[in-house]
A and B are shown apart, each in its own frame.
Chain A
């Protein structure tokens, strides 16, 4: 059977299996969508790496897909049986011309993690190494060696080709009205290309470590460049508790509230100050360490913002903090959210209601309600959402989820208030902005003096 037939058959089989749960189409909308989403997730898991990655992309695009599908894709299991050592050693030999035992000490045959695209083995550093940033790694340091599975890139590219043909057919038959499947596949292909070259991930980890050099509570694994290549990334091994083990961390005296606030602030710093951020934050990519620090892992998916986008995003966040619907609308427009003139009033009213409704029963305020509610509001009125905007809102909502996993009562909006206020205050001192705004300010001052 051809791969194309297998894909079509697997999808059809899994969707048909959802019919009883969806009461053959008679169930309520959310229930029907949830059943369809579950079937799609199971089909993707069965179809392998390309579809697992596609599912991960869908999980960060609430602007394009239903809440049910996004939630289901977030729960997708990316754990596959590990490949035997010999197959992994082949990749190492192809990249370095040498066996793992010649490159690292105590390279463990059994991986510590095995996902659809790569698996991670523990090893020890043979000779001391001075990383790009941070203290020297001593000989004997514990390492994590991430290795792309053989033929993973080729399999993903072949599947993308097949999926593209199916997507083009779906567009021709009018089966994909809500989103553009071909555009999504283009985006997916570009992101997979980046992710399959592990050196890009290593470079971002170095930059991240540098950006947070003054912050002793943020840790990033140091990269060992002489032992890294396109398909192999050697980094410091990090230990700690995953967010799912937070009770154990609290029992050991870790300050969960402090780390939740600090983690959320660190993310805002990535977005509002540097314009580059870890866009794949989920419980498996974060550790809380016994040193009362947060360790970031896996920099495969990264978001970038231009200085202008960064400032506009900060303004939208300030609008949420200070409940200012006009500000939110004005700066969303600068980010590409084009609200037609006849819909401005209705969107402003909806936005105002969202801003007033962010308060939770415990008195804290909720970003997720606002962010996703705003995306939904725009969707309901047929207003296109730029992909970067959707990704960022989803990332902020995820950060709130991560911070709440650490400390459920955290008020992310209150945490954002001093941060966004400071960033905007600093922007006031920007010479270009001063030059732009000064004439209007002088006119206002003169008006005040004259009246």
Chain B
């Protein structure tokens, strides 16, 4: 879900392996992490993000290599979240109908029990 933008940055970083010194320094600072590694403030977020994008780049690289070797399925075989959402809505509707049916049965049972 949050992977798309990270993947975009990672892909950019992968195709720009010779990134500028500023970016490399940001990745290093971000990798050092924590209070010691980052100075704090708005720049720290950029450092942290740069380090995570660098990690994502390594994952992307490994995934592409694995896919080239035929060890991973193509990316379009993942479950579609929109279809999942529809499946859930249908399931929820079924649950409500089950509940309603049981309520109607209980009303009927009460009416039948009347003298």
B45 near A426: Cβ-Cβ < 8 Å: no
The yes or no answer to A304 lying at the interface (CB within 8 A) is no
Contact with B along A214-252 (1 / 0, CB 8 A): 000000000101111100000000000000000000000
A426 near B6: Cβ-Cβ < 8 Å: yes
How far apart sit A229 and B100, CA to CA, in the bound complex (Å)?
9
How far apart sit A199 and B52, CA to CA, in the bound complex (Å)?
42
How far apart sit A385 and B33, CA to CA, in the bound complex (Å)?
32
The yes or no answer to B4 lying at the interface (CB within 8 A) is yes
* Chain A residues, Cβ within 8 Å of B98: 225-226
* A25 → B minimal CB distance (Å): 43
* B33 → A minimal CB distance (Å): 7
A97 near B113: Cβ-Cβ < 8 Å: yes
* Chain A residues, Cβ within 8 Å of B91: 131-133, 206
How far apart sit A359 and B108, CA to CA, in the bound complex (Å)?
64
A422 near B6: Cβ-Cβ < 8 Å: yes
* Chain B residues, Cβ within 8 Å of A426: 1-2, 4-6
User: Which residue of B35, B38, B49, B110 is within 8 Å of A97 (Cβ)?
Assistant: B110
* A410 → B minimal CB distance (Å): 14
Closest to B50 in A: A421
- Given A97-B106, A417-B33; A428-B5 close (CB under 8 Å): yes
Q: Which of B44, B53, B95 has the most CB atoms of chain A within a 10 A radius of its CB? A: B95
The yes or no answer to A338 lying at the interface (CB within 8 A) is no
How far apart sit A188 and B114, CA to CA, in the bound complex (Å)?
39
A203 near B92: Cβ-Cβ < 8 Å: yes
How far apart sit A437 and B93, CA to CA, in the bound complex (Å)?
40
User: Which residue of B4, B49, B52 is within 8 Å of A429 (Cβ)?
Assistant: B4
How far apart sit A11 and B106, CA to CA, in the bound complex (Å)?
43
B45 near A206: Cβ-Cβ < 8 Å: no
The yes or no answer to B96 lying at the interface (CB within 8 A) is yes
Contact with A along B47-65 (1 / 0, CB 8 A): 0110011000000000000
How far apart sit A367 and B19, CA to CA, in the bound complex (Å)?
35
* A299 → B minimal CB distance (Å): 15
User: Which residue of B6, B96, B110, B113 is within 8 Å of A425 (Cβ)?
Assistant: B6
* Chain B residues, Cβ within 8 Å of A327: 42, 45
Closest to B101 in A: A226
- Given A426-B1, A429-B5; A323-B35 close (CB under 8 Å): yes
* B11 → A minimal CB distance (Å): 13
The DSSP consensus for interface residues of chain A is helix
How far apart sit A381 and B27, CA to CA, in the bound complex (Å)?
40
How far apart sit A422 and B5, CA to CA, in the bound complex (Å)?
9
B41 near A324: Cβ-Cβ < 8 Å: yes
How far apart sit A228 and B106, CA to CA, in the bound complex (Å)?
12
How far apart sit A226 and B106, CA to CA, in the bound complex (Å)?
11
* Chain A residues, Cβ within 8 Å of B2: 273, 422-423, 425-426
How far apart sit A365 and B38, CA to CA, in the bound complex (Å)?
14
A421 near B96: Cβ-Cβ < 8 Å: no
The yes or no answer to A96 lying at the interface (CB within 8 A) is yes
Closest to A414 in B: B34
The yes or no answer to A34 lying at the interface (CB within 8 A) is no
Closest to B41 in A: A324
User: Which residue of A132, A213, A318 is within 8 Å of B95 (Cβ)?
Assistant: A132
How far apart sit A207 and B84, CA to CA, in the bound complex (Å)?
12
- Given A359-B35, A426-B2, A429-B8; A323-B95 close (CB under 8 Å): no
The yes or no answer to A85 lying at the interface (CB within 8 A) is no
CB-defined A-B contacts under 8 Å, sample of 17: A131-B91, A203-B92, A206-B91, A207-B88, A210-B88, A213-B84, A226-B98, A226-B99, A227-B102, A228-B102, A324-B42, A327-B42, A327-B45, A414-B33, A414-B34, A423-B2, A425-B5
Chain B residues with CB under 8 Å of chain A are 1-2, 4-6, 8-9, 33-35, 38, 40-42, 44-45, 48-49, 52-53, 84, 88, 91-92, 94-96, 98-99, 101-103, 105-110, 113
Chain A residues with CB under 8 Å of chain B are 95-98, 130-133, 199, 203, 206-207, 210, 213, 223, 225-229, 273, 318, 321-324, 326-327, 355-356, 359, 365, 414, 417-418, 421-426, 428-429
Instruction: Give the 3 A-B CB pairs with smallest separation, nearest first.
Output: A97-B109, A323-B40, A322-B44
